[in-house]
Structure 1
């Protein structure tokens, strides 16, 4: 039986699909130190499992997007989730860090297909309905990410880091069954379109040249870089620097994920109250920049009480939940005929920014402070705000004035 797009079950399916990359990251965070100990690698080196995973999330969508525009979303996401299932099992069986890195790359290539979730929404919904649906999906993602770190810590206590990847394998298998049995094709496929390199290149060039879509891609990428810096840095800081146990860190990370969910829920209410996306974006990006800057300032002076650091990270998460549904909607809206390519470029650039910011945090980590995390979060958040004020808003004014 196919699930109807207007139903809660369809929103839940999209939310679970979109959460696959985040569960692949968040469940593993509490186990970085334990993974390093088991494989004989330093914690900072194990942090590269996050960077490799995000690198695959950045590159694979460039293939998935055009293929989904030509052949449909359904076969692509089914293939991708299947690859995620296989990659998760391979990670659980890895015997060394180099092998784990390779398996994480394959797992991420599978998870990358879920970047088509927002193209699916663009296929089926318009205007405020699309904005509300994207907010609902962000909420669903963060229900998963709220649970994932605590679940990862619990699994680590019950067994080992391998159990985490085993559970990801099981979760992916359940999602695959749901997709095969409940998800119908959403794209309007033009059988006359050819999947040629020249056509793919023109589609990507059209996205990169579009003044509004590309501007909002930059906003989303910089905002995503801010979040991924704290995702990687928080594990290194709270567990390795402050000596918190993984279960306590899982609670802190869940609180940050809960703040993202709260921001997305608030944005959904603001849609009902007819509050403009521009207003929400401006406020959210400003809060993120201020909170990141304060974290950097307090770190530089050596005053980093636990409650203050957590509060600032929660503020960044709340701002991200407010802004990202609006940034995604603004990115996808202008080019519905190549929504897959738009989603691919957007997801690729955002994940590449996340991989770079995550890698910088891991490389610059000094073993004792939050400096690398704060030093990467602050410029990323400022870049997101500047991209919106100096590029996206002027581009919208020019288009609307013409």
Structure 2
């Protein structure tokens, strides 16, 4: 593992951090997203029945959370550039802990949605700061390697989350699965408070001034490198979110798996993602960033197309849909570290804003997908299959065209 690069920030950070500890903290911070979504997915059908809600309302517990997650980053990003990463992280994790308790004890679906939206807003601070910290500590290429290591940790956590959520919801009820989020939040808050120094070398005193803020946004949005990598991460997350939002209803209600079996199904997909993060590091060393993304695009579209093919042939069995989806997840394990690092790479002095805009794009797509699935889930596998196939094709086209043309970043002042 390469040590954090001070060149990325233009000067030595105010406090040093051990390289191994940096990766551990980043893994914990980034993992809060799959913990928040994957742990409760096995309980989603039971939760919907328990609160007497419609399927569209149940989808809002996920899509509403992610919309708040995306929108809040537009606020958290400039705040972190102005005041530093550490205070924003502590505030976000504190709010997240309170919202997790509220979600676990919500008596109605309406209140559950409200608390989940608060959770999403707080989660925006955590994940946005994690991406910005990568730019604080590393150059763009080293950042992709560091991000892949942190996302390996995320993959391990995600592998545990779905089976744990299935066991908790089956043995103790759906509220236990939501209560587990509080435990994770407290542990992460303690780690940040005790072991993470401030990583931003130079705070930007003008970051919150309206004219300066608009100027920074425009600087980021004018960058074709930012758009290439942000569209790449949006497309790969679109395919993943389609699976997250639809899979519990398809695999449990349509294909007949138990909640525990579904949890292990989710874990198997996470293993494929985990393998993708390891493959990413090898490919980056041997092939470079752009060819690595192109290879990942081929994996993604192969998985989505094969999944559609087996569905069209009538093989509506869990294993038949999962095997090709593993290819998509293998590609996802490459796309996310490359895309997230690439999107903020040109902006060492505005990494918070760039990270926020990148996250906003992903979550806006997720909210749209959630609304679409809420109307399309019809007791068949087709909404799941068609959604993943669509995003896999879009992802491959972006990886083979925009990223190849604009993916070599030019650092902005």
| Same fold (TM > 0.5) | yes
* CA deviation map 1:75-105 (0-9, x unaligned): 1111111111011000011111111111100
Matched, 1:335 2:343: no
1:7 counterpart = 2:19? yes
Are 1:254 and 2:267 matched, yes or no?
A: yes
| TM-score between both structures, scaled by the size of structure 2 | 0.91
For 1:304 and 1:51, locate their aligned partners in 2 and report how far apart those are by CA, in whole Å: 26
**In the alignment, what sits opposite 1:377?**
388
Alpha-carbon distance in structure 1 between the residues aligned to 2:272 and 2:102? 33
> Which residue number in structure 1 is paired with residue 185 of structure 2?
172
190, 199, 203: which one aligns with 2:216: 203
Unaligned runs of 5+ in 1: none
Q: Distance in 1 between matches of 2:149 and 2:408?
A: 28
Out of 153, 156, 165, the position equivalent to 1:152 is 165
1:135 aligned to 2:148?
Answer: yes
Alignment of 1:3-402 (within 5 A): 5-114=17-126, 115-190=128-203, 192-271=205-284, 273-367=285-379, 369-396=380-407
Displacement of 1:322 in angstroms is 1.7
Change (3 A) 1:71 1:94: same
The alignment covers a number of residue pairs equal to 397
Deviations 1:327-357, CA, capped at 9 Å, x for gaps: 1222121111100001000011112212222
| Runs of 4+ in structure 1 over 4 Å off | 396-400
Alignment TM-score, normalising by the size of structure 1: 0.94
> For the residues of structure 2 that align with 1:375 and 1:66, how far apart are their CA atoms?
37
d(CA) in 2 for partners of 1:56 and 1:39?
A: 22
State the Cα distance separating 1:138 from its structure 2 match: 0.8
RMSD: 2.0
Point out where structure 2 has 5 or more consecutive residues left out of the alignment.
1-13
Q: Deviation at 1:4?
A: 5.2
Between the aligned partners of 2:140 and 2:114, the Cα distance in structure 1 is: 41
1:5–1:11: 8 Å Cα contact kept in structure 2?
A: no
Q: Is the 8 A contact 1:142 1:258 kept in 2?
A: yes
Cα deviation for residue 143 of structure 1 reads 0.8
Residues 4, 10 of structure 1: 8 Å contact kept: no
